[in-house]
Structure 1
Amino acid sequence: MKIITKISTYWTIQLIGWITTSLYWGFLAFFGGTFIWKIGIADLILDVTIGIALTHIYRNFALKNRWNKLSLKKLVPRIAISVLVLSLLYMLLIVGKLYLVRLIVLKSSPASFMVFLKSTQLQVFITGTRLMSIWVLAYHLYHYSRLEIETVKENARLSLIMKETQLNNLSAQLNPHFFFNSLNNIKFLILENPDSARRAIDLLSELLRNSLNNNAGRLIPLNEEINLIRDYLELEKIRFEERLQVKIETSVDLLKYLILPLSIQSLVENAIKHGIEKRKSGGFITVKVEMEHNFIKISVQNSGKLSKEIKDSGIGLSNLKERLLLQYNGNAFFEIKEMNDETVLTTILLPAK
């Protein structure tokens, strides 16, 4: 049974690139009339070995120090220094190779190594600088393009998830239970309290407008999200009346920080649907926003119990966790748990940028 080992793209490019470069120099020597086969073969093998060794060492060093994750401002000085160091090493190795190969093949040395080094160092250094610059720049441009492609894919994925969240949110607000209850409440309020009826109509239209107009490609000020929650809870309080107690506490500058649209709204809507609605006596919802160790801590606590179905597979919460993961590159924290006093606490920690 034969075992076929596939050469990676990296090693394929390395071998093709350095062999092509060495062959080019060999052809120049051949057509220049100074070609010796033994020297040519030795130069080919050693040139390829030196080129691959130096660039592979650089690659491992760059990966170990995560240079591919650096911004261009931080990366450019490192590239310049690296090219200079690589060029000097290349010059010393190539000059040493030229001297030793010719000494061994020709069996004689017309000059000492230092004299030979002084006569060839400038030309070899310039050649090394050109080759190392091309290799290092090509290497980082490749990784930069890969990073850009990954970023575009993540942004597209985030946009799709956000659109799905908007549709889910709109669907929740337009479902017969919510919509017709709101309309029935408004109908009775028209006779009993016309001012409250007009307010309820305004709240309902504002919620629907926000569901349609939220831009999936941007973050919004924290105060916009809080205002949306106030409107939503005010409308729900018309429906639940004394069965719903609401408290919103904030201790941060709401205009200063940006968050994902409909993020806190998803938590509050989940609290209404799976908490307050399932209790005959209703309950409370408390929304709290505060700073904690350079993080914005958002907590929503409500009366109710946490079912395994909601914890593991709730669509709204799953989408929210996915959006947080993509937007904050894993630096955001999400947790939902049932407390001992028959309440559910949902917490989000966002980097305070």
Structure 2
Amino acid sequence: MQKARKNISTYWKIQLIGWFSASLYWGFTAFASGHFLWKMGVADLIFDVSIGIGLTHLYRNFALKRGWDKLNLKKLISKMILSVLVLSILYMFLISSKLYLIRLIVLGENSVSFSVFFKSVQLQLFITGTRLMSIWILAYHLYHYSRLEIQTVKENARLSFIIKEAQLRNLSSQLNPHFFFNSLNNIKYLILENPKSARRAIDLLSELLRNSLDNTKGELVVLEEEINLVRDYLELEKIRFEDRLEIKIENKVDLSSQLILPFSIQLLVENAIKHGIEKRKKGGFIHVKVETEQEFLKITVRNSGKLETEIRNSGIGLSNLRERLRLQYNEAAFFDIKEFENETVLATILLPIK
């Protein structure tokens, strides 16, 4: 049986190629000048590559441990400058020690002390170290920054797609024949019995359709706008269910100062009607509550009904909402839906307050 080959990661390939290339260039320069010994050349190659990789790999581990790869360039500049200074000093001491030891062992030169030798080469080695470490650190963080930007663009594109999908799903719901014809039939009877209520129902239906067709909605909307959408939707459903539907919207925050995903509360209320109230002969209640809890905005939708397993685990609307929350808030948001023993369903959204 052949042993599986372990592929060398891109990072290590670049490290080896980069430092070997630099060391070979220095060796070629010495060879071209006529001052070249093979023993010293090989020793320089081994030590130069080892020191270069050792210092930069040590920095990489240090930066990853502290999450520097996720910082933007503005926050990273001061850390990069300090790191270049520290690494350049370490490089200067290590390379000067290497040069002194190689000359001592290979050439047998010991006419000067290390301190004298160090003073003669320290400035040149510090400049070389600064140049090398600056190039390496800048290239390393530019690579991670570009990857972070690409990931952000992908997630924004995905979020934009999901928002459009939510808008289409919401539009589909409002244009659902069952909902649409029920609303029109109610309006038809209201025209004779209560023209004022009929006009209000037409206004509500047109407003819901306008919101569903609104392509200007961004990633977030003002909470007040979402609550108004929910009020319109429930008021129209109240006309259909009459006394079978009890509605309560409770608010304990400044609606104009908070942002929320569009159609998020609307989705939960719609699910409450479709999977709860509609399936109960005596109807039930829907209670929407908005409040703050520690550093989170807490939104709950409580309604009469039972939670169907397929809706909880694989409902398209709820899956869509979970994905939008994950992308928008980087998994800092929370969503849960559960059923209680008294045939009550509670859906909860927790959003970090910005």
Instruction: Classify the TM-score, shorter chain.
Output: over 0.9
For 1:303 and 1:5, locate their aligned partners in 2 and report how far apart those are by CA, in whole Å: 58
Deviation at 1:138, TM superposition (A): 0.6
Query: Quick one: distance in 1 between partners of 2:253 and 2:7?
Result: 57
Structure 1 runs (4+) greater than 4 angstroms displaced: none
Offset at residue 188 of structure 1 (A):
1.2
**Contiguous gaps of at least 5 residues in structure 2:** none
**Corresponding residue for residue 140 of structure 1:** 141
Corresponding position of 2:232: 231
Q: Determine helix, strand or coil for the equivalent of 2:162.
A: helix
Is 1:65 the counterpart of 2:52? The answer is no
Show the counterpart of 1:188: 189
C-alpha distance in 2 between matches for 1:3 and 1:265: 54
> Which residue identity is paired with 1:179?
F
8 A contact 1:229–1:268 mirrored in 2: yes
TM-score (norm 2): 0.97
Letter in structure 1 aligned against 2:164: K
Q: Is the counterpart of residue 20 in structure 1 residue 29 in structure 2?
A: no
Structure 2 counterpart of 1:279: 280
Rounded to whole Å, the distance in 1 between the matches of 2:314 and 2:4 is 45
Where 2:279 maps in the other structure, the secondary structure is coil
State the shift of 1:108 in Å: 1.9
Change (3 A) 1:185 1:159: same
Q: Is 1:56 the equivalent of 2:57?
A: yes
- Paired with 1:5 and 1:127, the residues of 2 have a C-alpha distance of 35
- RMSD (Å) for aligned C-alpha atoms: 1.1
Give the 5 Å matches for 1:100-119: 100-119=101-120
Q: Aligned AA for 2:81?
A: A
Structure 2 partner of 1:166: 167
| 1:88 aligned residue | 89
- Counterpart in 2 of 1:307? 308
Q: Which residue of 2 aligns with 1:288?
A: 289
Preserved CA contact (<8 Å) 2:23 2:49: yes
List per-residue Cα deviations over 1:37-96 (Å, max 9, x = no partner): 111111111100100000001111111111112233332211111111100000000011
1:214·1:261 contact (CA, 8 Å) conserved in 2? Answer: no
User: In 1, are the aligned partners of 2:104 and 2:110 still within 8 Å (CA)?
Assistant: yes
Indicate if the aligned counterparts of 1:170 and 1:211 stay in contact, CA closer than 8 A. yes
1:159–1:216 contact (8 Å) kept in structure 2: no
Query: What CA deviation, in whole Å up to 9, does each residue of 1:273-316 have, x standing for no partner?
Result: 00010011111100000010111110001111111121111111
C-alpha distance in structure 2 between counterparts of 1:264 and 1:214, whole Å: 18
**Structure 1 residue 246 and structure 2 residue 247: aligned?**
yes
User: Would you say the 8 A contact 1:276–1:283 is kept in 2?
Assistant: yes
Q: Secondary structure at the match of 2:276?
A: helix
State the shift of 1:265 in Å. Answer: 0.3
SS in structure 1 at match of 2:345:
strand
- What is the CA deviation profile of residues 191-225 of structure 1, one whole-angstrom value per residue up to 9, with x for unaligned ones? 22222111111111111111111545421110000
List per-residue Cα deviations over 1:111-162 (Å, max 9, x = no partner).
2111110010000100000000100111111111111111111111111111
Deviation at 1:2? Answer: 4.2
Consecutive unaligned residues in structure 1, runs of 5 or more: none
Distance in 2 of aligned mates of 1:337 and 1:2:
51
Residue of structure 1 equivalent to 2:323:
322
Shift of 1:174: 0.4
In 2, the alpha carbon distance for the partners of 1:345 and 1:112 equals 79
Residue 166 of structure 1: how far off its partner (Å): 1.1
Q: Is contact 1:219-1:259 (8 Å) kept?
A: yes
CA contact (8 A) 2:72 2:145 kept: no
Matched, 1:6 2:4: no
Residue type of the alignment partner of 1:115: V
Give the letter aligned to residue 31 of structure 1: A
Contact 2:70 2:144 in 1 (8 A): no
| SS of 2:5 mapped into structure 1 | coil
Deviation at 1:230, TM superposition (A): 0.5
Tell me the amino acid that sits aligned with residue 4 of structure 1: R
Moved more, 151-160 or 89-98: 151-160
Q: State the alpha-carbon separation in 1 of the partners of residues 309 and 3 from structure 2.
A: 52
Per the TM alignment, residue 8 of structure 1 is displaced from its structure 2 partner at its CA by 0.8
- Equivalent-residue separation in structure 2 for 1:243 and 1:269 (angstroms): 16
CA shift for structure 1 position 331? 0.8
CA–CA distance in structure 2, aligned partners of residues 142 and 39 of structure 1:
35
